[in-house]
Structure formats: structure tokens, C-alpha cells
Structure 1
């Protein structure tokens, strides 16, 4: 399978409210349409994760970021432009996403991946894509495809057939940007 076929196959599943296992810019991830509450519920259930814990989602570019965050602080663009590694930013007041992906403090973690597969998939979907590590909650994040728990492999609706894609196995850095201008590093 080539990348274009895999994007189309994943898109078909995502548009029907399914969940996929796919290579992100960091680790293998479980994904779904971030605007589909039922699909997000399936992700929480598969990971055996409390829905009180929020999820990360990916957008294709700064333009899409602005469509799903009420007010992107100016400093976010500089952080993302100069970041040496994948960086997720937690923004206040997300908009146009499913309620069950938003944290209790009305924030949402969003990353703009540089990974070609992720960018193309999100561009074609025209919506943010949930991105959570491919593990059962509390278990170790798999460093490679072969370390992914069979429960996860069997629980998704589609596995993107790009197993040769090498992932660093390192989660992204996470920074919380509040609308009051405060910045807090959550994970380096």
C-alpha cells in the first residue's frame, strides 16, 4: 500500500465515525474525528481512560488552528516556529470540536505536525484529528509498531499499513498557554 491509498482508507473510516491506529509525528497513535463525540467516546473506552483526562488533537496548519481556538496567543506561533521537536500547546477556549474532548478548564491540547502523512490526512479530512498514544491507559507508550498491545490493534476500526514508518517513540513536548499570557511547561 502506498501513502495515498492509506490516507483514503483511513479517511473512509474516520468519516464513518471510526477510530484508526496510525503513525503520528511522534509515536503510533489512536485517532478519530475531533468533532465526533461518539468516536471520541470509543477512544476513551478502548484506552480504558477516564473521560476526565483530555486528549490531544492534530491540525494541519496555523489556519486550521485558528478555526478551532477562539484566540490563539501570538507567542504560540513563535514557539511552534522555533521548536526543535514536536510541540503540543494547550489553548484556552477551543471551538467547533466535540465537548468530550475539551478539558474541564475549557482548554484543548493541539499540535501542528510536520509529518507528511498526518498533514495530508488532516487536510483531506478538513477537521482536527484526535491523537493519543496507542496504549491502554496506565501502560507504557509503545516505542514501535510491534510493541502495540493486541487489545489496541483489535479495538480500532482500521490500522494504517505504514508499519515501516519509524517513530522516535518520544511523546511531544507540552506547553500550556493561557489567554492571560502565562506559559507553563507541562512536559519537555
Structure 2
């Protein structure tokens, strides 16, 4: 059964964050809170863990549209090609926040994503997620645990998430009730913002 850890978003306990990061470094899968829906994630540098997540989602890893959850914009250049000042200004204005930005992928992407032309970048406005990636030192991948055919509580209530995912993942973080609205997805790979999916993030920001 997965470990179940309560972490408070206002002031995440460094000891608990450390515990989460140790699990990620061992190749573990975690379910964690963001500023939108709860996410399923793993360390972006761990190929075995990435493959496991892809299997759970029923997709090939190379074809998976996982978002990269970053701590801030400083390590963007590791994953994203040089971007325009105008694009950077949009990112700066919107992040941290409930947006996924699709940007042109760089040559130094982790192996499974090497052939990708674009990557989805997330900097969620949630201290738990941000503290995890900060301590880990690199992004985690994120994919939503939401399923449109399901009872909503199973994706918003941490105890019910544990009930459903407890035998599949290594850790479920209880960061309080999650949202049931996904992030707004904006494609900036051609410099002009194109809305791919309208979600929680306000479009007025553009």
C-alpha cells in the first residue's frame, strides 16, 4: 500500500518534502497536489519510472504528452529552445499559475522525449509541488489522475485517491481537497498564443 503523507500547502514541512524526494529518487510514483487537479508524477530523469507512468496511462512513452513541472523559469533553458522576449513576458506574468505552456523543445531533453518538437511546461501555484521539484533539483513529470467517466470525489479527495491508487503508486500526498478543473493549455511554440484547452487559468492574462 502507498504511503500517505499529510502536507500543509501554506507551510510545507521540509522533513515531509524530503521523504517525498527520496521516494522520487528511488524511482517511485507519487500523487501530489497542484493548483488544479491532483497529478501523478515521477522524476523526469528516471526512465523506468517514466515508463511505468506511461503504462498506467495506456500510452507509449515517446507519445506521452506529459507536462514538466518546474520550480520556476530559471531551468527552462534545459528543456526549451531559446524563446522570444514577448513569450518570456507572458510566462513571467502567468506563472506560477494554473497554466500549461507548450514551448519548442530543446536538444537536451531527457532521452525518451528527444524527438519531441514541443514540451508542456507547468509552474503550479502550489507550495507543495514547488518545494518538491526545488529539492529534487529537476522537474517531475505530471499527468492528471482525472477520468471523465468517474465520480469526481475520486480525483479531489485525497483519502479516496489513496483508496483507488494505493496499490499502484508509492506515495499519495494529502494536500487538502483538489480542484476538479484542469489547467488552461496555451501553445506558444510559434510565439503567438493559441488556446488549446480552456481550464482554470484566466485568458485575460494575454
TM-score category, normalised to shorter length: 0.7 to 0.9
Distance apart, 1:16 and its partner CA: 1.2
Q: Output the CA distance in 1 between the equivalents of 2:45 and 2:166.
A: 23
Please tell me whether the aligned partners of residues 87 and 191 of structure 2 are also in contact (alpha carbons under 8 angstroms): no
Q: Output the CA distance in 1 between the equivalents of 2:106 and 2:146.
A: 26
- Match for residue 11 of structure 1? 21
Q: Give the aligned length.
A: 183
Structure label with greater radius of gyration: 2
Q: Secondary structure at the match of 1:170?
A: coil
Q: Output the CA distance in 2 between the equivalents of 1:75 and 1:144.
A: 39
Structure 2 gap segments, 5+ residues each = 1-5, 8-12, 199-206
Please tell me whether the aligned partners of residues 30 and 169 of structure 2 are also in contact (alpha carbons under 8 angstroms): yes
Residue 68 of structure 1 pairs with residue 79 of structure 2: yes
Residue 21 of structure 1 pairs with residue 31 of structure 2: yes
Residue by residue, what CA displacement relative to the aligned partner does 1:100-148 show, whole Å, maximum 9, x if unpaired?
Answer: 346x652110111221111111111110111111246x75572332453
Q: Output the CA distance in 2 between the equivalents of 1:60 and 1:22.
A: 15
- C-alpha change, 1:145 and 1:75, in structure 2 (3 Å) is farther
What pairs up with 1:69-88 in 2 under 5 angstroms?
69-83=80-94, 85-88=97-100
| TM-score after normalising by structure 1 | 0.83
Q: Output the CA distance in 2 between the equivalents of 1:17 and 1:127.
A: 14
Q: Which runs of 4+ in 1 moved over 4 A?
A: 138-141
| TM-score after normalising by structure 2 | 0.76
Distance apart, 1:33 and its partner CA: 1.0
Residue 90 of structure 1 pairs with residue 135 of structure 2: no
Please tell me whether the aligned partners of residues 143 and 170 of structure 1 are also in contact (alpha carbons under 8 angstroms): no
* Aligned with residue 58 of structure 2, among 14, 31, 48: 48
Structure 1 gap segments, 5+ residues each = none
